[in-house]
Each structure stands twice: as C-alpha cells, then as structure tokens.
Amino acid sequence: MKNKGMWVFRLSVGEGGNPTGVVVDWCIANRNKVREYRRKVSPLYGELDEGEYEEDEDFLSTLKQELFEHGKLRQGWGYEYEGMKLDLNQPQEEWMENYLNLNWRLWGEETNCENATGRWNILMRMTNMEIGDVVFVPKIPDESKFTVATIEKKYFFQPMKEYFGHAHVLGVKKVKEYSYENHFLPKEFNPYRNAVSQVGDHHKIYDTLEDFLEKHYL
C-alpha cells in the first residue's frame, strides 16, 4: 500500500480560505498589465444568469451527483469565459493572468498576486495525483460521513455548463461512503485544511488510513 498515494480532498462550494504564496516573477513584471485590464473592462457583477454562479443552493448537491453518479471529483476556482480559462495544463504565467482577470471580470474582485499564487500551488497538486491513488473526501455526502474513491483518470479541465467554477476534475472509481461513528473521528482530517492535501507516509494519520483501507476498502 505504501507505494500508493493517499490524499484528502475538500469538496466545497466556498472559497476555502485565502491561500497565499511567494509572488512569481510574472506578477511583479505584469502588475501594470493587470491594472490596465481592470481599467478598460468593467465587471459583470449580476449580469449573468443567477444559475451560473456557485452560490446556487443546489450546487453542492450537483457536485455530489458528479462524484457518486458520474465518477468526477471536482475542485473549484476553475472557470472559462471570454477566451480566458484556468486549465492547469497551461503555463503558470498564462493561468495567473487569466485568474486575476476573470475574478475582476466576473465578480469585480481585485484579487492580488499572492492569492493567485496560493491557488495555483494548491490546485497544481491535482496534477500530481496518479491513477490508483486513493482520495478521502471528508464530510461527504453529509457531516456524519466521509467518502473514499480511487483515481482512474488523471487531471483534466472540464467546465460545467450550469455553473462557473469547479472545472478541475479527476476521474474516480470505487466511490464508497462510510460513517465516522464506525471508523474514526472527523478530527483525524483536521490537519488537512487545504482543498487538496497529500497524506505523507510520515504523517501521524498515515498508518490509521492505511489500516482502514486494507480492512474496509481495498
């Protein structure tokens, strides 16, 4: 089992905190370019159809349906609009520019380079997830349960027609849900607060999760 990767994946419709990172050279060199875009292009704010926004109360249910019925584990901060997209397969510099401009264009948010770098660093972990790796999804399908799945298709970018966001996708199989009450406490996942986190074989919880998989999942 130790040759297989294990991950904790937070499935949420919220922003998931405000991650920051060391500003890449592109941001330093192109601050004026970003400012110029914001000066020339006005935000849409509420001009788009309401159903296109993540705030739709049924959005989490849609994400669960994608996971359990279609084998797609989705993560946020991934949109495509007016030729700009946030596919992680593109160069980081292009992704950063699109991220900053899309947040302004769609919602009028003057997102800074530190935040954009932090998002990139967290999301890029999805591209490191290999076929056969196991993913733990806390508090899904509800607060009393967690879900386990195995990756069968590596990262790909696929926007949803009904919503902006959650276009970063992993193909998964063997999707099973378990009760915390019958296995271990939700707090076991507390150290993994980012949207995507790898469970290292030196981590305290590693042996606990490995034992669980061998007894109840594999």
pLDDT along the chain (218 residues), means of 10: 82 66 73 92 72 60 94 91 94 92 91 88 95 97 96 96 84 97 88 94 93 93
Number of domains in the chain: 1
Residues recorded for the chain: 218
pLDDT given at position 50:
44
Please work out, in degrees rounded to the nearest 5, the angle formed at the alpha carbon of residue 135 by the alpha carbons of 67 and 189: 110
Q: Distance (Å, rounded) from C-alpha 186 to C-alpha 70?
A: 26
**Largest Cα–Cα distance in the chain?**
59
pLDDT given at position 17:
54
Is residue 131 situated within a structural domain?
yes
Is residue 96 situated within a structural domain?
yes
Is residue 1 situated within a structural domain?
no
CA distances 117 to 27, 91, 108, Å, are 9, 13, 19
pLDDT given at position 51:
47
Is residue 51 situated within a structural domain?
yes
How do beta strands 168-179 and 80-81 pair?
unpaired
Q: Distance (Å, rounded) from C-alpha 194 to C-alpha 192?
A: 6
Is residue 70 situated within a structural domain?
yes
Expressed as residue numbers, the domain containing 198 is 6-217
